[in-house]
Structure 1
């Protein structure tokens, strides 16, 4: 007798029949997430180091085949990452600080050029004045000037970033040095041969898929940054290198990043370019670059490995941004992809993995 589609789904992706199991699993998930929220200062460098390890793992594998000692390979990877970060910070710190001071002072010009958004800008002006009045000292004079306040905010942000970076790079170094030690230990404690195979399968799939995702996204984001920087240079916008790096970084955050980039390039164009029609060109160019990359090239490269439900991607972005801020938003899609990989290979969670999966796009094949 032929089995109905419902029977096939029930056998392939079994649903829990005891409601208490769902309730207990939900409580466990809430407890884990609460701990992750409370311990984010300690957990975030570890999670970032793990994803950086997946990003540099193909290079480590190449060095391993060349018989380079693991310690030397880890030091080389760390030096390369640190060199790129320090170089970019050194190049961009001065123009970024200059623009941070210029943007609040440019609100009157924006009001004059774009009448239809004058009310929101007036609200922003009042907000700036309100914030400044809140910082008035007991003598009736502002404790500090606006420019100094912005510089102190930048210094505080840079200090926090540098502290997190140091811990992340240290953790990355020891992860690279450990290699697959943790995987071997986990396999050794698994009770059955089937469990050992399952752990290895999940670990290999996570390393393969997430490494491909991170490398592909990083390459595409670099190309987006180069195209954006060249376009801004062609339009005559000041500091094109800064805007190329901004486009590169924003592209790591799906949906929110491009929206932020559109608003930012509109404001920058209004502040810098004349006549009025040309002021819209930075935003238009950024949109064109993003559409080519986000709607054509990247989906074609990743469609075979990643088909996530876009609604759940959006929900994941909102959730992880609330949990861990900007780093959480950057990690939202890889974390959701890892969760799906685990669900697809753990039988009680297969139904949840099927729920996370999105519709497969048709990709062009030669």
Structure 2
């Protein structure tokens, strides 16, 4: 073996020390950013196409999404019935019948007081005018400005060139069309929900079977289990807290003298499923009910004040404390998601906005190319809801 030249480099067997470049490489490996502009372009086109499909086919996709979310809520109950040797088909039917029966009974029990308050609304207009007498002068001034603007627009436009076309379908036709669409959506939701509960983990098993790599199989199982655990925990916790809000609101309305406390408790329970926007709408409802019920303006402000206090205790203290470990979503994105899905699918979209955003974050956190989006969706521990 020839002797080694003294000019030859000496090989160093010591491990290299970490530096800034290696740290950046590790960061890029953990949260990669796509560098190809075509990736953003194609991803944007795919997102727009998917949103357009969700909007156009909302009559079909919305019941399916609602059934999937309800499946996550009812799946633990079906599994519990299965452990006591109840067949899955029977357990799924029992769970759906219990939920449907509860909703039908609640609607039947609350329909009479709701109709009574609807009849009191026209009779309470003079009382509302008496409460809002402070705002009469600003409203009249604003109306005067609007009238002057309309007169100026009419004077500058061509005379005789306006053609009014009025199409009135009638109240009965509108109610019939709305009722039919709601019933169709409910039937589709119940049908899809039943078969989802009966199938159990069938779709997950088929996905695991067709994935080529073991790491992909394990990742699919991990994502599915995490979605089921987190969303089920979220829905159960929110339902329990909303029930507590409903009971507290009913008791508060009873103590302050507002009639039909069960109706107001059910209203608070349902509105609390829509974060932020639901309680804001509820304050307006309780303010209107207080003005219709009490002669004094200060006494009329008591129902919305009590409702706001109950919501602050629940929404700012109890619920974030229970959900902070599972859900840390960006509050700005939560608001944007609520507004967007309400525009897309109405009230059901607003109810499904937070669960869908949470599912998106769970998937993004576990799929390496989407970790950047998952990090963007994350918020602080104080913004759990």
What's the TM-score bracket when you normalise by the shorter of the two chains?
A: 0.7 to 0.9
Aligned to 2:27: 9
Aligned to 2:203: 182
Q: TM-score, normalised by structure 1?
A: 0.88
Q: Could you say if the C-alpha distance between residues 168 and 112 of structure 1 is closer, same or farther in structure 2, counting changes exceeding 3 Å?
A: same
CA distance in 2, matches of 1:178, 1:136: 48
CA distance in 1, matches of 2:79, 2:238: 20
Aligned to 1:221: 242
Aligned to 2:36: 18
Q: Give yes or no for the alignment of 1:36 onto 2:54.
A: yes
CA distance in 2, matches of 1:53, 1:312: 25
Aligned to 2:270: 249
What is the CA deviation profile of residues 13-52 of structure 1, one whole-angstrom value per residue up to 9, with x for unaligned ones? Answer: 0000111011111111111111011000011111111111
Report if aligned partners of 2:127, 2:295 keep a CA contact under 8 Å in 1: no
Aligned to 2:113: 95
CA distance in 2, matches of 1:222, 1:119: 42
Aligned to 1:310: 331
Report if aligned partners of 2:70, 2:193 keep a CA contact under 8 Å in 1: yes
CA distance in 1, matches of 2:349, 2:100: 21
**Gap regions ≥5 residues in structure 2:** 1-16, 144-164
Report if aligned partners of 1:107, 1:121 keep a CA contact under 8 Å in 2: no
Aligned to 1:110: 128
What is the CA deviation profile of residues 85-115 of structure 1, one whole-angstrom value per residue up to 9, with x for unaligned ones? Answer: 1101101122223323433553332121122
Q: Could you say if the C-alpha distance between residues 256 and 35 of structure 1 is closer, same or farther in structure 2, counting changes exceeding 3 Å?
A: same
Aligned to 1:294: 315
CA distance in 2, matches of 1:119, 1:230: 37
Aligned to 1:128: none
Aligned to 2:81: 63
CA distance in 1, matches of 2:166, 2:124: 22
Q: TM-score, normalised by structure 2?
A: 0.83
Report if aligned partners of 2:329, 2:377 keep a CA contact under 8 Å in 1: yes
- Structure of higher CA gyration radius: 2
Report if aligned partners of 2:31, 2:368 keep a CA contact under 8 Å in 1: yes
Aligned to 2:286: 265
Q: Could you say if the C-alpha distance between residues 342 and 261 of structure 1 is closer, same or farther in structure 2, counting changes exceeding 3 Å?
A: same
CA distance in 2, matches of 1:288, 1:352: 35
CA shift for structure 1 position 179: 0.9
1:75-154 counterparts in 2 under 5 A? 75-118=93-136, 149=171
